[in-house]
Amino acid sequence: MDKNTVLATTVKGIDEATKDIRAFINGLVDSSSFVETDTFLSGKSLLDGSEAIGEGIVTGYASLDGRPVCVIAQNAAVLGGSFGIGQAKKIIKCMDNALKNNHTIISVLDSKGARVGEGVTCLEGYAMVLAKAAEVSANVPHIVIAKGNVIGHMAAYLSMGDFVFAGKDCLISLNSPSVLAANVTKPVKELFGLKTHSKDTGIIDFVYADIQDLKNKITLVLDYTGEYSNDCDDDPNRETATLENDISVANLLAALTDEGRCLEYAAEYSKEIKCYFARVNGVAVGIIASDTSVNEYMTLDGAEKITAFANLLDAYDLPLVTLVNCKGISTKISDEQSCAVCGAGKLINIIASLSIPSIAVVVGNAIG
């Protein structure tokens, strides 16, 4: 078989193996903007020696709403998206390109875990990728999308992202979900799916319904965290008479933000604390507010949510506006036994060490 025939056969195999994940990428980024890199890098399934066409991952660069991005997308159609040293090399090369050019990274995760046939080599790949992810987090924005299964150490990689998005089919676990669920009667998705990680653990920052919803929300995140201001027709000196009788979070946001628009962060987690990205007189800010209709007291989860959000604002140089209305720290024994004092200490430490402008507005109670 001549070289041209071999190349044509290889290209056809790669196109077939990557068509679904490429369709996902193309639906996410600007039309016709995605350019794949390292297309021909592939490894082998060391269990039977067969070639892993496309290496279970697609990498490249594109634009999203006109902004340059680097894309890393695991492909579950090839060996279940299993992670190996080949994947590690493609991921690291893409991240290095992002660091060199100061581009946002978008990671799309869908993997059933490690390629166990590689043994220690696979572990080396994990160490390399996680170290690079730590380097990235201090230098360029990193958006992570849990598209499907995120099993094994890629779950840790997911948690290292600046902004974590997830769809209804996500399954996130450091260990094998089937092994963990073997002795309980609940379905695996109920234990490790979207509801658990958006509501209980708080790992997921944003939930998306479909590819267009995902694209819209990522565009908003990039807009709020970008280094520029937007013009606004709202009068910054306007009066809002409704606040005399209604200091609900919704009414406060309508009065404070430009055109009443905002994007809620970690909406399902610790609902007594509301965190938003918004603009005030054209300037992007972060807003933290207490929702007394849910709980009038600060819980441990609420303190952790504020700490994470404040850290994020500090990293992106976004001013913080806190709308204070709280009767103090939760008096639940469960919170005390879960080290509420540690949560309070971490919160005080981050607020005290912020390098960004911070404004607190007492709109109700400020106790404790």
Tell me: do 269 and 210 sit in the same domain: no
Nearest C-alpha neighbor of 44 from the set 102, 101, 15, 87 = 87
According to the model, what pLDDT value does residue 79 have?
A: 81
Q: Please check the confidence at residue 54 and state whether its pLDDT lies above 70.
A: no
Quote the pLDDT of residue 86. 86
Question: Which two structure tokens, joined as six digits, stand for 84?
Answer: 């190996």
Containing domain of residue 30, as a range? 3-221
> What pLDDT shows up at residue 175?
87
Greater pLDDT, 114 or 117: 114
Predicted local distance difference test score (pLDDT) of residue 48: 54
d(CA 198, CA 193): 9
Predicted local confidence at residue 330, as pLDDT: 82
Q: Give the count of alpha carbons within 13 A of 50, CB side only.
A: 7
Residues 204, 147 within the same domain: yes
Model confidence at 190, pLDDT cuts 50, 70, 90, reads: confident
Q: What is the CATH number of the domain that holds 171?
A: 3.90.226.10
At which of 195, 221, 247 does a domain end?
221
**Dihedral angle over CA of 337, 339, 340, 343, nearest 10:** -160
Condensed to tens digits (0 to 9), the pLDDT of residues 128-170 reads 999 999 999 879 999 999 999 999 999 999 999 999 999 999 9
- Coil, strand, or helix at residue 326? strand
pLDDT of residue 43: 59
Of 221, 255, 271, the last residue of a domain is 221
Given this model, what pLDDT does residue 340 score? Answer: 76
pLDDT score recorded for residue 333: 80
Q: Check whether residue 121 and residue 194 sit in a common domain.
A: yes
Do 190 and 246 belong together in one domain?
no
Same domain, 157 and 106: yes
Give the total number of structural domains in the chain: 2
38, 184: one domain? yes
Q: What is the mean pLDDT of residues 307-327?
A: 95
- Please report the pLDDT score of residue 115 as a whole number: 83
Instruction: Please indicate, yes or no, whether residues 336 and 245 belong to a single structural domain of this protein.
Output: yes
| Domain co-membership, 199 together with 234 | no
Q: How many helices (H) and strands (E) does the chain have?
A: 12, 15
Phi, psi dihedral angles at 286 (to 5 degrees): -110, 140
pLDDT of residue 9: 66
